Amino acid sequence: MTTEHTDVVELLKEQHARIRHLFDEVVNTRGEERKQNFHDLVRLLAVHETAEEEVVHPFARTNIDGGELVVKDRVEEEEQAKQALSRLDDMDPDSPEFLDRFAVLRQDVLAHAENEERYEFAHFARVADRGRLETLARAVQAAEALAPTRPHPGTDTALKNAVVGPVAAVIDRTRDAVRKAIG
Ligand SMILES: [Fe+2]
Ligand SMILES: [Fe+2]
């Protein structure tokens, strides 16, 4: 569980740190443990990127200098990451091909997070008052609390698909939850 943050920038940076940690955990484990770590990473990335797309980027787009362009680049990076994640989700996590593709995704997602921190989040404190940043933080936290969980690996695949579905479905359901949360 995440700790309570009232500052949206601190909260997002904390999620970036958790994402970085889970990428390492996937690489450093094998078999069932790797599947579990990958499964946790998919959910966290779905929650994090969806909350950014629904709440954080729209704020940046209209409030920071050159926001339109900064956000456009970040959204493109997120789209690519989601596609890569979907492809990985269909692969055997212990195969060499998975590891190769996973290494590329890791590099891209960590570069993406750095770009957000440097070109987007770094400007927030200057352009918004505390109250506004707290409202954003509450929306991001609500997204994490309300997002669907995926059944653990090992659960029957047909059941898994019926209950939650693959990466795209996790993202769709998270988006619905976020939209409900921000009303
Ligand atoms: Fe992002
Ligand atoms: Fe991010």
pLDDT at 69: 96
Q: How many A from CA of 72 to the centre of ligand 1?
A: 11
Cα-Cα end-to-end distance for the chain = 24
pLDDT at 151: 58
pLDDT at 161: 42
CA angle 10, 49, 119 (to 5 degrees): 55
Structural domain count of the chain = 1
Q: How confident is the model at residue 5 (pLDDT cuts 50, 70, 90)?
A: low
User: 91 in a domain, yes or no?
Assistant: yes
User: 102 in a domain, yes or no?
Assistant: yes
User: 1 in a domain, yes or no?
Assistant: no
Q: Write out the residue range of the structural domain in which residue 93 sits.
A: 8-182
User: 2 in a domain, yes or no?
Assistant: no
- Residues 74-112: pLDDT tens digits? 999 999 999 999 899 989 999 999 999 999 999 999 999
Q: How many A from CA of 103 to the centre of ligand 2?
A: 18
- Asked whether the predicted pLDDT for residue 159 surpasses 80, the reply is no
Give pTM, 2 decimals.
0.87
Question: What is the rounded distance in angstroms from the CA atom of residue 27 to the CA atom of residue 106?
Answer: 10
User: 136 in a domain, yes or no?
Assistant: yes
Ligand having the closest approach to the CA of 50: 1
Question: What is the rounded distance in angstroms from the CA atom of residue 7 to the CA atom of residue 13?
Answer: 10
Q: Are the CB atoms for 146 and 178 separated by under 8 Å?
A: yes
Ligand having the closest approach to the CA of 16: 2
User: 122 in a domain, yes or no?
Assistant: yes
Q: How confident is the model at residue 166 (pLDDT cuts 50, 70, 90)?
A: confident
User: 130 in a domain, yes or no?
Assistant: yes
- Residues 31-63: pLDDT tens digits? 999 999 998 999 899 889 999 999 999 999 999
User: 34 in a domain, yes or no?
Assistant: yes
Provide the 8-state DSSP code for 5: -
pLDDT at 164: 45
- Asked whether the predicted pLDDT for residue 165 surpasses 60, the reply is no
Q: How many A from CA of 172 to the centre of ligand 1?
A: 16
